[in-house]
Amino acid sequence: MPKLPIYMDNHATTPVDPRVLETMLPYFSEKFGNAASRNHSFGWEAEEAVDRARGQIAQLINAKPKEIIFTSGATESDNLAIKGVVEFYKEKGDHIVTCVTEHKAVLDSCRALERAGKAMVTYLPVDKYGMVDPDDVRKALTDRTVLISIMYANNEVGTIHPIAEIGRIAHERGVVFHCDAVQAAGKIPVDVDRDHIDLLALSAHKIYGPKGVGALYVRAKGPRVRISPQMDGGGHERGMRSGTLNVTGIVGLGKACEVAGAVMAEENRRLLDLRDKLQAGIFERLDEVYLNGHPTERLPGNLNVSFAYVEGESLLMGLNDVAVSSGSACTSATLEPSYVIRALGVGDELAHSSIRFGLGRFNTEAEVDFVTDRVTREVRRLREMSPLYEMAREGIDLKSVQWKAE
Ligand SMILES: *Cc1c(COP(=O)(O)O)cnc(C)c1O
């Protein structure tokens, strides 16, 4: 019996890896210098630590250390990339191409620019697996397009987009390519040269580092990409992001990247085995379950499933010792089904029935067995109380039923 509660929501955040924590600890106390203090050893020590982290991050994505800009997290990185490009290249154009399943950090940055009259945005659709068609990207480009923003891998359904192809199109047309790689960098091989990425956002807390620190990769050569800063101040980070550096957090991000790169191949094999076991266990025991996301082009730790005739929220409540997440985000007062799941063409019912399992570094096989069992029993219990499930079992076509309003 595994220890409860079980954490299986690793797309939302991850615990700090003990190796990362250990590396960070001295920077809370004795090594407290300001990396911008140029005239004493406290400052030099902090700057050295920051430079080391820059190298560790750069290595993970095949970039150069000087191309890494530290931020407070990927939300800021996405904002800086999108608003920064639109502002800098405003003489050249004002059109952005992105996609409907992007993270809110990207979608809301685009919306804000639209509302301010600073940009026009094309939101590309995705196929039933949640994937963008590179041909759609190509066709959406106009003379005024200054930015393509497509995520590497989706945070809800795990689908991995054909990023290298999209990047090639961007570079053929001389358009800047921004990629939100929060769920990919440190999880699957990411290479800014192979993938033709100009701006890349990543976040420490999704890869076993601390919360509140992230980075933006900004291509320096082939081509050199420019952004307007969104934060004014002391001119840190070569003027692109002012503010005293979060040295402790940055040390953690760097170490998290180093560890991620070192364990990636083995970790992926292990996660894939666990994920496939969880998926097979659920699909063998239950009928009317549907996979959301791409069957193969998907993050190893991701499993998003719709359980027909079951409300995701009710299922979550029943699984009170298992931390997973449902496709109905309480973003507002109303319970809205996830816009990502809906974009796959799944109906509202199935979108409301979706559960995301996010397997990570510290999940075990015993936990997978426990969760398989708990989910199966809970879904069966809820379906026993569902008249709709009864009717469907009896062969009644629910679409043909005339519902009477009381
Ligand atoms: C978590 C996440 C973000 C936001 O990152 P923060 O560092 O938490 O601001 C952006 N994009 C994706 C795809 C994410 O999963």
**Of the residues 110, 179, 257, 330, which is catalytic?**
330
Domain-terminating residue out of 260, 288, 303? 260
Give exposure, 295-324, as e/b (b: 16+ Cβ within 10 Å).
eeebbbbbbbbbbbbbbbbbbbebbeebeb
Tell whether 399 is covered by a domain: no
The CATH number that applies at residue 230 is: 3.40.640.10
What confidence tens digit (pLDDT) does each residue in 151-207 have?
999 999 999 999 999 999 999 999 999 999 999 999 999 999 999 999 999 999 999
Atom 15 in ligand 1: which residue has the minimum CA distance? 155
CA of 74 relative to ligand 1 center, distance in Å: 5
* Structure token digits, residue 204: 């420490």
Q: How many domains does the chain have?
A: 2
Do 72 and 162 sit in the same domain of this protein?
Answer: yes
Return the ligand 1 atom nearest residue 213 CA: 7
Ligand 1 pocket residues where CB is under 6 Å? 73-75, 103, 105, 151, 155, 180, 182-183, 203, 206, 214
Which domain does 67 fall in, by range? 18-260
Return the ligand 1 atom nearest residue 102 CA: 13
Do 245 and 319 sit in the same domain of this protein?
Answer: no
Share above pLDDT 90 across residues of the chain, in percent, rounded to a whole number:
91
* Structure token digits, residue 393: 């079992």
Return the ligand 1 atom nearest residue 12 CA: 1
Tell me the C-alpha to C-alpha distance, in Å, between residue 182 and each of 3, 96, 121, 141, 362. 29, 20, 22, 25, 19
Do 51 and 138 sit in the same domain of this protein?
Answer: yes
CA of 385 relative to ligand 1 center, distance in Å: 37
What confidence tens digit (pLDDT) does each residue in 374-399 have?
999 999 999 999 888 988 888 888 77
Report the sign of the C-alpha dihedral through residues 150, 331, 85, 73, in that order: negative
Tell whether 32 is covered by a domain: yes
Q: What is the mean pLDDT of the chain?
A: 96
* Structure token digits, residue 66: 């000087």
Q: For residues 219 and 216, what is the distance between their CA atoms, to the nearest angstrom?
A: 10
Do 229 and 309 sit in the same domain of this protein?
Answer: no
Domain-terminating residue out of 225, 260, 295? 260
Do 225 and 306 sit in the same domain of this protein?
Answer: no
Contact call for residues 154 and 104 (beta carbons, < 8 A): no
Do 119 and 181 sit in the same domain of this protein?
Answer: yes
Pairwise pLDDT comparison (400 vs 238), residue with the higher score: 238
What confidence tens digit (pLDDT) does each residue in 87-134 have?
999 999 999 999 999 999 999 999 999 999 999 999 999 999 999 999
Domain-terminating residue out of 201, 229, 260? 260
The residue whose CB lies within 8 Å of the most ligand 1 atoms, and thus the one to mutate among 203, 216, 299, 356, is 203
In the residue annotation, 330 being an active-site residue is answered as yes
CA of 335 relative to ligand 1 center, distance in Å: 22
Chain-centre distance of CA 62, in angstroms?
Answer: 20
Do 34 and 63 sit in the same domain of this protein?
Answer: yes
